A and B are shown apart, each in its own frame.
Chain A
Amino acid sequence: MARVIESGARAAIASAASAAAGRLRALAFDKRMAAALFAALALLPLVSPLVGGGYLLHIGERVLIFAIAALSLELLIGAGGLVSFGHAAFLGIGAYAAGIAASHGLGTLAVALPAALAASAAFALVTGAIAVRTHGVYFIMITLAFGQMAFFVAASLAPYGGDDGLSLPGRTLVLGTRVLENRIVFFYVTLALAAASWLLVSRLVASRFGRVLRGLTDSETRMQALGFAPYRYRLTAYVIAGTLCGLAGFLLGNQAEFVSPAYMHWQRSGELIVMVLLGGTGTLYGPVLGALALMVLEEGLARLTEHWKAILGPLLVLVVLFTRGGIAGAIEAWRRRTTTFPELLADLQGRGRAALARAEQAAMEATAAAIGCGRRAEAGLGAAWLRWRAALRPRLEPLATLAARSARSADGIVRGAAKACVRAESLLGTMNRDVAALAGSARRHLSAGLGRCSQTWHGGLRPRLAGLARLAGRGIARMAARAVPWRVALHRALKSAAGLAGRSLSSALARWRRR
């Protein structure tokens, strides 16, 4: 049975590969790369028996499973700008759903797969409802914390192995058969699911939903002004990504036939981010390429040395420091360098045509929407008129009369105010006059005082002082005529005379000032 399937599958692959190669050239570069990657991986079962037995197939399966997880994370990081550092939790939840279902003898596709998807969706909904409220670093840390929470819960699930994990009794049954146990079948199922995931994510990113998500990453304010609720879109994206990653977890649990809390370890979440960034965020073949690159790198380094993480770590730092946009970014740059002018022109023409078609489509949609809007507006207007007639008018009319009345009374108030203004003005006039009169009399009083002062000086003080001075002068002359011993007396007399004069002068001045 298995051999029949195997040979049949091989023949199918060979014919499919030749057919696919022909169609590849017709696609855009992004899609061409993804198709090429999947096609290359599809050839793996043909090559695998030649090189190292089933080992290559085993790696291929893991690459595809992690490609699904990385694609789901790319939906969050690339389109939604939401850097989830707890994405491995979904991987674990999907795997545990498969494991727990199997351990209870319910390991059929009809039970285990819906359980895995529903459990991851529910976990995404609950944690996302809180996490998506936040931004930037908060989001990184909160998703990390929730991932850790899932890890510890899994580690304390004693009935399901706790820390040690849980061995599955077998892979999930499909319609009662153990068809998934066949490695080739399982590989192609995984491949098909990975391709379907890629298609789903690329459709999502290109859809209106994806555009809104990218718009939110670009400018949340603008999108809000356009009427989009950021929270709902982000939460939806988070739930979709979580569910998709749950699918990857379901496959991972089946592939290893073993589940353990290690699937949810935060370093696993880190590895998922590494895959997305290493491959190149912003493209959809990037995550697939990143999963491939990281897996191959890990396997290669692990063969080289037991301490492969000591090499991988610095490698990551170097990738961050020296590359922009990961492997896809490097390919993009290389393509830009090597493209010739006619190729560029053809590419541009093709893209232009596609854009034109899309624009036409959008214009048609917009026209239809506008017509709908117009119709709705008309209907709304009619309804508004009716409502006006029925309910608003009777209520508004008394309001209008009330308003008129209050306007009249306001008029009265204004008139009264004007009168008060006039009265105040006249009051101000009389006050001004009084102030002027007061100032005049003060001035008169002041000048009269000054006059009296100068009269006293000229009439009384000055002649008296002059007389004294004369007397003193005479005294001085007389003294000078006398002998030397009189000098002292002379000095004293002079001093006292001067003192007297000064004192009387100052007292006169003081008196004048007092006046």
Chain B
Amino acid sequence: MSTSLVIVQLFNGLQLGILLFLVAGGLTLVFGVMDFVNLAHGVQYMLGAYLSVTLYQLTGSALLGLVLALPASMLLGLALEWAVFRHLYQRHHLEQVLATFGVILFLNEGVKIVWGAAPLDMPTPDLLSGSVPLMDGLRYPVYRFAIIGAGLLVAAGLYLFVRYTRIGMLVRAGATNAAMVSALGVDIRRLFTIVFGFGAMLAGFAGAMVAPILSVEPGMGDQILILAFVVIVIGGIGSVRGAFVAALLVGVIDTLGRSFMTDILRIFLTPSTARTIGPALASMTMYLLMAVVLAVRPAGLFPARGRG
């Protein structure tokens, strides 16, 4: 457990946290404003990755593929909203869960039909390839730094957007009391559509960013969806700030747990026992974190105003 390894894993954790924030931010906005449980948010992340691969194959430039994936995933999100989700806003959460579950089944299978079940490859953009030295004998890929930087930029942009623009104001107002906003003469449906498209774009952006470092395959969204759920439950549903803090927390703790849990256990236990228990315990760490947070604060770290 050398220092350099700890530093690398810290950066990896930060990068996972940033990705989680991109997905969880959209999820929590959609839930906060529309009171809509969107299980299909993870699928939009997956579609973002697939779209970036396809656009890369069409244009021949990885960077162009990444950039063009943004509007494409936004359009796909808006199409889904128009076709299915729009009719679910007034329904019970149970029905929303069921319908979006159906959408997941369909899109996961649809991706398999269109792109095949095998994982796809996506190169890193030339501009961001290579690595930089952190300290002696320790280099870290530029692309991962780019992910962290881009994520922080998006987080800052989102903060400014929600805090200082008119639409941001409506979003905040809608999160507190949507019916009142509607009564004041704001077209709430259009606001919903904007927020939804924006959330879809964020998820798609996360998917496109992660495409060069993970394998692009069907079902890749399910994993991150559940992580995002953990994040927004810890952060407080509907709170973007909570999502940011919780995403970094979960990202770092999960990554460190996976890397070092076995080593830590070896201090107390025999090596073979540690090797058996370590991975199981490591995969539980973030759920334990969630359990602890919920035991202390049942509404999450930063409960959004206006709901319990």
Give A residues with C-beta under 8 Å from B. Answer: 77, 83, 85, 130, 133-138, 140-142, 144-146, 148-149, 152-153, 155-159, 266-267, 270, 273-274, 277, 307-310, 312-317, 319-321
Given known pairs A142-B294, A152-B283, A321-B99, the reply for A310 and B94 (CB within 8 Å) is no
User: Does B99 lie within 8 Å of A317, measured CB to CB?
Assistant: yes
User: Does A309 lie within 8 Å of B105, measured CB to CB?
Assistant: yes
Q: Does B108 contact A (CB under 8 A)?
A: yes
Q: How far is the CB of A74 from chain B (nearest CB, A)?
A: 12
Name which of B52-60, B64-72, B227-235 contacts chain A.
B227-235
Chain B neighbourhood of A137, CB < 8 A: 31, 37, 93, 237
CA distance A5 to B232 in the complex (A): 56
User: Does B287 lie within 8 Å of A148, measured CB to CB?
Assistant: yes
User: Does B102 lie within 8 Å of A313, measured CB to CB?
Assistant: yes
Contacting A at CB under 8 A, from B96-114, are 97-99, 101-110, 112-113
User: Which DSSP category, helix, strand, loop or mixed, fits chain B's interface?
Assistant: helix
CA distance A274 to B112 in the complex (A): 23
Q: How far is the CB of B220 from chain A (nearest CB, A)?
A: 14
Contacting A at CB under 8 A, from B242-291, are 275-276, 279-280, 282-284, 287, 290-291
Q: Does B88 contact A (CB under 8 A)?
A: yes
CA distance A358 to B229 in the complex (A): 45
User: Does A310 lie within 8 Å of B106, measured CB to CB?
Assistant: yes
User: Does B280 lie within 8 Å of A316, measured CB to CB?
Assistant: no
Q: How far is the CB of B28 from chain A (nearest CB, A)?
A: 11
Chain A neighbourhood of B93, CB < 8 A: 83, 136-137, 140
User: Does B106 lie within 8 Å of A321, measured CB to CB?
Assistant: no
Chain A neighbourhood of B102, CB < 8 A: 312-317, 320
CA distance A160 to B103 in the complex (A): 34
Q: Does B81 contact A (CB under 8 A)?
A: no
Given known pairs A140-B37, A145-B287, the reply for A317 and B232 (CB within 8 Å) is no
Q: Does B87 contact A (CB under 8 A)?
A: yes
CA distance A22 to B225 in the complex (A): 52
CA distance A136 to B237 in the complex (A): 11
Cβ contact of A313, chosen from B105, B237, B284, cutoff 8 A:
B105
CA distance A500 to B284 in the complex (A): 106
User: Does B233 lie within 8 Å of A138, measured CB to CB?
Assistant: yes
Q: How far is the CB of B277 from chain A (nearest CB, A)?
A: 9
Chain A neighbourhood of B7, CB < 8 A: none
Q: How far is the CB of A432 from chain B (nearest CB, A)?
A: 56
Chain A neighbourhood of B31, CB < 8 A: 137
User: Does B233 lie within 8 Å of A314, measured CB to CB?
Assistant: no
* Chain B residue nearest to A147 in the complex (CB): B226
CA distance A142 to B230 in the complex (A): 7
Chain B neighbourhood of A274, CB < 8 A: 98, 101
* Chain B residue nearest to A271 in the complex (CB): B101
CA distance A281 to B73 in the complex (A): 36
Chain B neighbourhood of A321, CB < 8 A: 87-88, 99
Chain A neighbourhood of B103, CB < 8 A: 313, 317
* Chain B residue nearest to A154 in the complex (CB): B280
Chain B neighbourhood of A136, CB < 8 A: 93
User: Does B226 lie within 8 Å of A320, measured CB to CB?
Assistant: no
Cβ contact of B276, chosen from A145, A152, A158, A270, cutoff 8 A:
A158
Given known pairs A138-B233, A273-B97, the reply for A266 and B226 (CB within 8 Å) is yes
Q: Does B308 contact A (CB under 8 A)?
A: yes
User: Does A153 lie within 8 Å of B99, measured CB to CB?
Assistant: no
11 contacts across the A-B interface (CB closer than 8 A): A77-B94, A138-B233, A138-B299, A140-B93, A141-B230, A145-B230, A149-B287, A153-B284, A266-B222, A277-B95, A308-B109
User: Which DSSP category, helix, strand, loop or mixed, fits chain A's interface?
Assistant: helix
User: Does A277 lie within 8 Å of B94, measured CB to CB?
Assistant: yes
Given known pairs A138-B237, A146-B287, A317-B84, the reply for A273 and B280 (CB within 8 Å) is no
Q: Which of B101, B103, B109, B280 has the most CB of A within 10 A?
A: B101
Chain B neighbourhood of A142, CB < 8 A: 233, 290, 294
Chain A neighbourhood of B299, CB < 8 A: 138
Q: How far is the CB of A154 from chain B (nearest CB, A)?
A: 9
Q: How far is the CB of A471 from chain B (nearest CB, A)?
A: 80
User: Does B94 lie within 8 Å of A316, measured CB to CB?
Assistant: no
Chain A neighbourhood of B37, CB < 8 A: 137, 140
User: Does A307 lie within 8 Å of B109, measured CB to CB?
Assistant: yes
User: Does B97 lie within 8 Å of A83, measured CB to CB?
Assistant: yes
Chain B neighbourhood of A159, CB < 8 A: 276
Chain A neighbourhood of B276, CB < 8 A: 158-159
User: Does B298 lie within 8 Å of A141, measured CB to CB?
Assistant: no
Q: How far is the CB of A394 from chain B (nearest CB, A)?
A: 46
Q: Does B135 contact A (CB under 8 A)?
A: no
Q: How far is the CB of B77 from chain A (nearest CB, A)?
A: 16
Q: Which of A140, A159, A315, A317 has the most CB of B within 10 A?
A: A317
Q: Which of B102, B290, B299 has the most CB of A within 10 A?
A: B102
* Chain B residue nearest to A324 in the complex (CB): B95
Chain A neighbourhood of B88, CB < 8 A: 320-321
Chain A neighbourhood of B279, CB < 8 A: 156, 158
User: Does A153 lie within 8 Å of B280, measured CB to CB?
Assistant: yes
Q: How far is the CB of A139 from chain B (nearest CB, A)?
A: 9
User: Does A130 lie within 8 Å of B98, measured CB to CB?
Assistant: no
CA distance A133 to B276 in the complex (A): 32
Chain A neighbourhood of B107, CB < 8 A: 313
User: Does A273 lie within 8 Å of B98, measured CB to CB?
Assistant: yes
Q: Does B166 contact A (CB under 8 A)?
A: no
Q: Does B127 contact A (CB under 8 A)?
A: no
Given known pairs A133-B294, A321-B99, the reply for A309 and B108 (CB within 8 Å) is yes
* Chain A residue nearest to B230 in the complex (CB): A145
CA distance A133 to B84 in the complex (A): 32
Given known pairs A137-B31, A153-B284, A273-B94, the reply for A313 and B109 (CB within 8 Å) is yes
CA distance A141 to B97 in the complex (A): 10
User: Does B283 lie within 8 Å of A140, measured CB to CB?
Assistant: no
Q: Does B295 contact A (CB under 8 A)?
A: yes
User: Does B109 lie within 8 Å of A135, measured CB to CB?
Assistant: no
Chain A neighbourhood of B294, CB < 8 A: 130, 133-134, 142
Chain A neighbourhood of B101, CB < 8 A: 267, 270, 273-274, 316
